[in-house]
Amino acid sequence: MIQAKIAEILDSNQFLQEFEVNGWVRSFRSNRFIALNDGSTINNLQCVIDFENFDQDELKRITVGAAVLVKGTLVESQGNQQRVEIEVKEFKILGDANPEEVKLTILSPKRHSLEKLREQAHLRVRTNTFGAIMRVRSKLSFAVHSYFQQNNFHYVNTPIITGSDAEGAGEMFRVSALDMENPPKKEDGSIDFSEDFFGKETNLTVSGQLEGEAYAMGLGQIYTFGPTFRAENSNTSRHLAEFWMIEPEVAFCDLDGNMDLAEDFIKYVLKYILENCQDDLEFLDKRFKTEEESKPKADRSEMGLMEKLHFVIDNNFKRVSYTEAIEILKNCKPNKKKKFNYIIEEWGADLQSEHERFLVEKHFKCPVILFDYPANIKAFYMRLNEDGKTVRAMDILFPGIGEIVGGSQREERLDVLQSKMKELDIDEKELWWYLDTRKFGTCVHSGFGLGFERLVQFVTGMGNIRDVIPFPRFPGNAEF
């Protein structure tokens, strides 16, 4: 007897072979047909029971959500819904699911809203939608590592607890072991963090970039892929308080090389998903179409989910300077007719998602890389251009989502970096080690950051970022 996953059995041609399979009951029809799923595929395995040969009390325990062990023979299916099925010789209930309680949960056949599913995040992965999303997320994660490992990048684990704010935004979660009811105080009444566990004020990281730069200066090219945290009180469909970031850093690489890397990387992982998640993507594509049809016509996507993936893979990314993009936006119809929520009036404006999507979907009709942004809307570590007012930054814009990647050539010149830090009131003592990297063999280097959940959201077509991470963290919610 062969023990196998349902995905393997559904592809098998070993007819009349005995199989043993575990799974959860999705449905039990006519006291005869069990639809079994074990999470290995979105497709269920039909297991056919000759109910006259089994104990009736045991058959009553075959309910939606129950965990079951099935032993039987693989045969060609008599129906047209599936190619193969199992003729059940023996079954065992491994874990009961009370039918009355199931009716109150997302395991019931009734379709639930995404909000309802979030309330039961510990069970939602049993649904087709979330099973598909999480399998795609898993494959995407593998593809990320696969790309970088194949291209001789070194995987570096940067700290989760840090004393520095890489983004300079100040929206960080504090980490402390002090007794907050009676903390040690300085003479001025402020908390004395020198008596804390690390001897200083520390936080959860917002980015591994600065540490990644340090390691690129010795290993040549590295990438980080780990959790990051933002204490941004933003209750939107685009923000999470805890999310995963992919951040490569490459020594001896300028902004052009950085853009080449990002485009090549994105196309690789999307091709990998198309080749390895076909069943899940087909399901999500149909779901996306249904969701779009329920929206007002003006809000609908012009492309299906699979079309968007091919749109990115099959088109060269258009490279456009921020200055050129501003001119396009200033003179476009939506801006002149005040259809944008944020009207573009002058150079220096911080672009919003609506502007980014217009450039991709309406104007260029291909993915877009914007570069050379105004220095005053970008981070301190980005290399200042000769004009003194723009930096060697780049953002990659996708259809339906806007910005998906943000990166830059880093400022390798010590004096310029110190000047920018002073201008922004960033304490050199806190980042002494970062400045040190500019004293010992400094060189041109670049990198980018890609929010993993934003990528999963694009690939799966989900409208809310809270639905592409197993247990979302956002303002007011740390359940599960």
pTM: 0.94
**330 and 425 fall within a common domain:** yes
Are 374 and 322 spatial neighbours (Cβ–Cβ below 8 Å)? yes
Residue 238 lies in a domain: yes
Helix, strand, coil percentages for the chain (3-state, nearest 5):
35, 25, 40
CATH of the domain at 154: 3.30.930.10
- Residue 181 resides in a domain: no
The domain total for the chain is 2
Looking at residue 301, what is its pLDDT? 87
Same domain flag for 137 and 250: yes
At residue 312, φ and ψ (nearest 5 deg) are: -75, -40
Asked if 229 and 260 sit in the same domain, the reply is: yes
Residue 199 domain flag: no
pLDDT number for residue 170: 63
- DSSP letter at 33? E
Structure tokens given for 387:
């004009």
Tell which of 105, 120, 150 closes a domain.
Answer: 105
Same domain for 285 and 370 = yes
Identify the pLDDT of residue 299: 81
Strands, E, within 323-451: which ranges?
368-374, 390-398, 402-409, 445-451
Alpha helices in 331-431 (DSSP H): 333-336, 353-357, 414-423
We report the CATH number of the domain holding residue 62 as 2.40.50.140
Domain boundary at 105, 120, 146, which? Answer: 105
Distance between CA 273 and CA 295 in Å, rounded? 27
**Is there a domain that residue 41 lies in?**
yes
Q: What's the average pLDDT block by block, 10 residues per block, for the chain (480 residues)?
A: 96 95 96 96 97 93 97 92 94 96 88 90 95 98 98 98 75 93 92 94 94 97 97 87 97 98 98 97 96 87 93 96 97 94 94 94 95 95 96 95 95 96 91 95 97 97 96 92
Within-domain flag for 121:
no
Write down which residue in 73, 105, 137 finishes a domain.
105
Q: Do 384 and 458 reside in the same domain of the chain?
A: yes
Domain check: are 37 and 134 in the same one?
no
Residues 377 and 242 in one domain: yes
279 lies in the same domain as 405: yes
> Is 141 in the same domain as 38?
no
**Alpha-carbon gap, residue 247 to 452, rounded angstroms:** 10
Q: What phi, psi does 296 have (nearest 5°)?
A: -60, 145
Let me know if residue 178 belongs to a domain. no
**Residue 480 counted as domain residue:** no
- Residue 48, domain extent: 2-105
Residues 299 and 390 in one domain: yes
Q: Are residues 137 and 80 in the same domain?
A: no
**Side-chain half-sphere CA neighbours of 288 within 13 A:** 27
Both 164 and 93 in one domain: the answer is: no
Asked whether residue 10 is domain-assigned, the answer is yes
Contacts of 410 (CB under 8 A, 6+ apart): 213, 381, 382, 383, 445, 446, 447
Q: How far apart are CA 421 and CA 411, in angstroms?
A: 11
